[in-house]
Structure 1
């Protein structure tokens, strides 16, 4: 099973709609590690690390988001895994 690390930037109405809490629960359910945070420009940024198929599925799920969200776009880029990151947490 190939492990990957992806940084994602989610735009649209994604702040104030429990997006980070929803994403953390989804990531934990899929066995991913990383973090998620709100950005000053109204977007949400996340680091997703884990099996390639699980990361890809999480990116797809983030494209829909929780019920109150209105996702415009999910931009992703492959990155190096961040050492010392375990579990999935909300960082801001």
Structure 2
């Protein structure tokens, strides 16, 4: 059974810049077949946008929160939405 496609917005707080976090996130997202991006924010957070099947976006969120990321994650603020504009691939910004 397929789940509907969704858009995950996740603002990742912690030591997540300069440690390979965006590359790691991109790799996990591509393994799950998701599109989107991971972007450094000026305040030290990383903003992750992922689109695809809800269960795959949920799995990416679990990985972001799971403790095996580069650096360390203090908290992840999450917003679920309907699909946004089409995004090709998954990039680091």
Normalised TM-score (structure 1): 0.90
CA apart distance, 1:47: 0.6
- Pick from 57, 60, 78 the counterpart of residue 58 of structure 1: 60
Partner residue, 1:76: 78
The runs of at least 4 aligned residues of structure 1 exceeding 2 Å deviation read: 79-82
- Pick from 15, 22, 25 the counterpart of residue 23 of structure 1: 25
CA RMSD of aligned residues (A): 1.2
Structure 1 unmatched runs, 5+: none
Normalised TM-score (structure 2): 0.89
Structure 2 unmatched runs, 5+: none
Residue 31 of structure 1 aligns to a residue whose secondary structure is coil
Partner residue, 2:46: 44
Partner residue, 2:12: 10
